[in-house]
Amino acid sequence: VENMNKRVRRYLPRDTDLLSLPHQSVRSICERLNATPRKCLDYRTPTEVFREQLVEIVSLPE
């Protein structure tokens, strides 16, 4: 969590009012953060890992 907070602070200073930001700006920051490879994910992006998990859930037999 602290690591993610540090990453977010690269784009948004601590005193930023999040409610005053345009939706597109917040979305753009989220997309950038989720497209960054992470060592803890074996250098995959959070988006890749999330999609893999979705595929596993959808392909489970009922």
pLDDT tens across 9-56, in order?
A: 999 998 999 899 999 999 999 999 999 999 999 999 999 999 999 999
Q: 44 in helix, strand or coil?
A: strand
pTM exceeds 0.85, yes or no: no
The domain of 24 spans 4-59
- CB burial class (10 A; 0-12, 13-18, 19+) of residue 57? exposed
Q: How many distinct structural domains can be found in the chain?
A: 1
